[in-house]
Amino acid sequence: MPVLNEADYLEAAVHTILSQEVDGPAEIVLALGPSTDGTTAIAHRLAASDRRILLVDNPGADIPMGLNLAIRASHHPTIVRVDAHSELSPGYVTAALATLSRTRAANVGGVMRADGRTPFQRAVARAYNSPIGLGGGAYHGGAQAGEAESAYLGVMRRSVLEEVGLFDETVRRGEDWELNLRIRRAGYRVWFDPALSVTYWPRESWTRLARQFRATGAWRGELVRRYGRRNSLRFFAPPALVVAVLLAIVVGVLQAARVLGGWVSVLAGLVYLPVLAYLVLLGVVSAGSGGGTGWRDRLWTLAVLPTMHLAWGVGFLSGLVAGAGGTVDTSRLGSRNTPLP
């Protein structure tokens, strides 16, 4: 588990792991980034209370680096990736190990069930759980078990991880997708099992959500630069939305300035159609059932969905054109201006 500024979530996450019943020895390895909110003290207290909890330092703070440090510090043949912002459902590990054995897969994952404690967080969770929010990947609500492109978190065979080279530390976001690509290219299977579920707690504020999705989009653009059409078509929807919005703004300005007129203006006005269709879709999703149903939840949904899509799309385009470079997800930092070491 890579950990950075998770004071509100770490203890609950660890307790759901400790409550898993595993037929054999097990350990929890926490890779501690340079937290500023008291997370490190919580981690040391937890480790002092249970010898199964091991701590390693992750001074670089990057997720793939922390995962590799934790894997190298671990001792067992199966690796269960966990997130400090999530909680494993009862029986998760036992069921995942059984699926791993039955399917002879190299990596098994289940469903990410986002949840929230406030109207804003519930709206984000609603977007996560909707096929409109994150593009309908299997682990956002799939019901059919089978081979998959990637796996949420993942229960993995250590031997395969070591064969393909662990996580790529040059990929700061989307590292799980890139690892699963290498696993599949090496001839192994990645398996989705809808019976497995993990509760995920999304970002708690609009600015953190926007920063998270912009960084994630930038790294997806980088992955498209590296791997081209091995990336699913669904990843191209948010940048297409950004382009449509920009074109609509340009056409609107030219029409207002009377630069465009006649049939040219009518044809140019067709660029409004995808934007209008998207606005209608936002209204339908916000008014629909699922997740929080209070009026504040619905209003936040109207703000959350375009924030996710547009921030991701802008990040994607920048990553596609210039590469992700040193782009980092600063949404876990204590302050927007707090630099990573």
Q: Which domains does the chain have, with CATH numbers?
A: 11-205 (3.90.550.10), 227-332 (no CATH)
| pTM of structure | 0.89
Among 131, 136, 116, 275, CA closest to 199: 116
Residue 159 to residue 79: CA distance in whole angstroms: 10
- pLDDT score recorded for residue 176: 95
CA angle 315-68-105, nearest 5°? 90
Q: What is the mean pLDDT of the chain?
A: 91
Spatial distance between the Cα atoms of 28 and 81, rounded to a whole number of angstroms: 10
Q: Are strands 2-3 and 28-32 parallel, antiparallel or unpaired?
A: parallel
What is residue 207's predicted lDDT score, i.e. its pLDDT?
A: 95
Residue 284: predicted pLDDT: 87
Determine the pLDDT at residue 338.
Answer: 37
pLDDT score recorded for residue 234: 87
Q: Which segments in the chain show pLDDT lower than 70?
A: 135-142, 289-293, 334-341
Would you state the pLDDT for residue 341?
A: 31
